[in-house]
Amino acid sequence: MEQLFGDHPPAGADLERLEEQTLVRLALAALPGRCRRLVAALYYEDPPPRYAALARRLGMPVGSLGPTRARCIERLRGILQELSTGGRGISEDAVPTSVGRRGGGPYTNRRSPAGIRPEAARPEKNR
């Protein structure tokens, strides 16, 4: 049995890695443009640009890159923290999308984007 499972990652490891990557992408997208460009250049470009070239590209002094990077990374940490623990999104209290389609619920009286009540859009049986 050990030979069968010894070389494979635990079940769900791929899913966890994908979830983490998605959170990082969402956090990067939430950064202000200047921070996003700086972080992307420093950590995603291969090879990483030299500071002088990056400073010219971003229109900032070379001496500002380090402190700006530190502030941007701190912002990124905060956004990641919010996304992973307290941010809005899929959560335990979220109402399932199927609620209200049959048998009542909070969405039964909602109007469609065209302004038609969903129940009015269904053909009546005895017309």
pLDDT tens for residues 82-114? 998 865 555 555 555 544 444 444 443 333 334
Model pLDDT, residue 94: 52
62-80: average pLDDT:
97
Which residues, other chains included, contact 68 with Cβ-Cβ below 8 Å and sequence gap of 6+? 34, 35, 38, 60
Model pLDDT, residue 77: 96
User: Is 90:96 a contact under the CB 8 Å cutoff?
Assistant: no
Tell me which DSSP letter residue 112 carries. P
| pTM of this structure | 0.58
What does pLDDT average to over the chain?
76
The dihedral over CA atoms of 47, 51, 53, 55, expressed in degrees to the nearest 10, equals 130
CATH 1.10.10.10 fits 15-89, yes or no: yes
